[in-house]
Structure 1
Amino acid sequence: MTTRSGAQRRHLATSPFAPRVEPDIERFELHDRVTHAVLGLGRVISHESAAVTVDFGNCTRRIVSPFHKLEKL
């Protein structure tokens, strides 16, 4: 959870709630072979800090982070 200023709140040890776990975002490099749950097999042709562009053969798609349906082979 973030405050209005954008800073994250700290987790108190006495809190009854579990601390928020940040997901591990997978990193992709140029020419990595990947698979997508809907689009199938592809190859990374471009990568940015928060997105990758993947060529799936019949289409090219830009997929933004977090990459829920994209896995590295």
Structure 2
Amino acid sequence: MTSSTANRRFLPTSPFQQVSQAPVEKFSVDDLLTHDRYGVGRVVGLGADNKVHVDFGAGVQTITLPNSKVTRL
């Protein structure tokens, strides 16, 4: 039998914090963003499953969102 965190109840008296998922930021084609490793880039395409294709000048990278290294400009 497998357990799923989506089906578990949160008990208000629990000493553990409830984990909430951060909302996924939506990007559009031609949006500018910065990445901690690749630098400044422009969104050139949108993929399935929260993926964006970003042109950083040296090449196009596919980034899965949410990503803590990505910031919208």
TM-score bin, normalised by smaller chain: 0.7 to 0.9
Q: Which runs of 5+ in 1 are unaligned?
A: none
Structure 1 segments, 4+ long, off by >6 Å, are: none
Deviations 1:24-55 (A, max 9, x none): 32111111011111111110001134100000
Report the TM-score, using the length of structure 2 for normalisation. Answer: 0.81
C-alpha separation between the residues in 2 aligned to 1:66 and 1:25?
Answer: 5
Q: Does 2:41 correspond to 1:42?
A: yes
Report the TM-score, using the length of structure 1 for normalisation. Answer: 0.81
**Identity over aligned residues, as a percent?**
37
Q: In the alignment, which residue of structure 1 is the partner of 2:21? A: 22
Amino acid paired to 2:2: R
Q: In the alignment, which residue of structure 1 is the partner of 2:56? A: 56
Aligned residue-pair number: 71
Amino acid paired to 1:42: G
Give RMSD over aligned pairs.
1.9
Instruction: Tell me: CA distance 1:24–1:31, structure 2 relative to 1, closer, same or farther (3 Å).
Output: same
Q: Which runs of 5+ in 2 are unaligned?
A: none
